[in-house]
Structure 1
């Protein structure tokens, strides 16, 4: 199924926003009631948010961006693992941006702005990697 470039960008952006909101919501749940926020709790919040955002984004990308028809637990597991591995570098961009903002300004707003900026840069990079390495079979069939 072919979609226009504009539709693809709008859809990918919307899914990135959904994943970012899921990520930040998971972080807030982990950080809730922690005063002051310590390093271990902060690390747990980032990890939980990253995992939630990754799963949400994978499901949306697979179906609505790349129209991937991969079936079977083994094949999908391998595909998800590759998808996650492609996100390692892009996740580092996000973590550095979020952590730097938190360390510099020390507020939740700064942390979340840093997260959004880092995730934005990361998602553009991630799309390019996923298109080339993770969902290449789906692209070739389209």
Structure 2
């Protein structure tokens, strides 16, 4: 059975079993490798994507259970230009190894969409499920604050 799946505003006809995790559909079927496999049990946040604007762990959502449009890190910004959030990540030198960063940015984008001027407690609560082995949490928080300030100017 073919399942229609809209990802980054493009509809794909996916011919896979409905129980295949969204993560593997994105990476292996569609070829969007920005969404990373980290733990497979929703504990690290490396596979964070948005479904209808909600940050979710793609490793834990079955293809048949996707309830709306999927947005991945590849849709952030425009071709050749970073989003405000991505630029804040660069400006604050957040990434070290970089592995978790697409999930971190997607989680932060969902936070800023819901809470445009988050405080430290808001950021900590929203980001607590996204792990960074390099420990760049202070830089992540600073980048989110900077992006929020910049977004409020636009």
Q: TM-score, normalised by structure 2?
A: 0.27
Relative to its length, the structure with more strand (as a share) is: 2
Q: TM-score, normalised by structure 1?
A: 0.28
